Amino acid sequence: MKATIKTFCFALSLLALQMGAAQAQDMSAADKQAMLENILQSDKNNDGAISRSEFETLIKMNADDNLGRAAMVKRMGAYDAAFGRIDGNGDGFLTQEEMKALAEERQG
Ligand SMILES: [Ca+2]
Ligand SMILES: [Ca+2]
């Protein structure tokens, strides 16, 4: 198995990011599980980071499952905007650190 603890921790950080503080309380356990599975599946090369193409896959899977804000991003085709907002250093990959930074951002 190549799905290591590193990958799992990465998935959890992304999960926290996508749920957001308020949405976390509204998501059912089934929804959380579905999103976690989507995250693990979207990191196709298991490098612990989400590339731009992997991100689009993830958003589409989440949108199909009606998770978080993914449906809105998909409907608007706002992949670049959503990705760019998370990719703090602009290198084209979403790392754990970047997703933690965004997850810790409080809106409003
Ligand atoms: Ca990857
Ligand atoms: Ca980056």
Tokens representing 100? 């933690």
Rg (CA), the chain: 13
Neighbours of ion ligand 1 (CB under 5 A): 43, 45, 47
Q: Answer whether 47's CB lies under 8 Å from 3's CB.
A: no
Domain at 5-103: CATH architecture: Orthogonal Bundle (1.10)
Tokens representing 19? 């749920």
Q: Where are the domains of the chain?
A: 5-103
Alpha carbon of 41 to ligand 2 centroid (Å): 20
Task: Give me the pLDDT at residue 3, please.
Answer: 57
Low-confidence ranges of the chain (pLDDT < 50): 21, 107-108
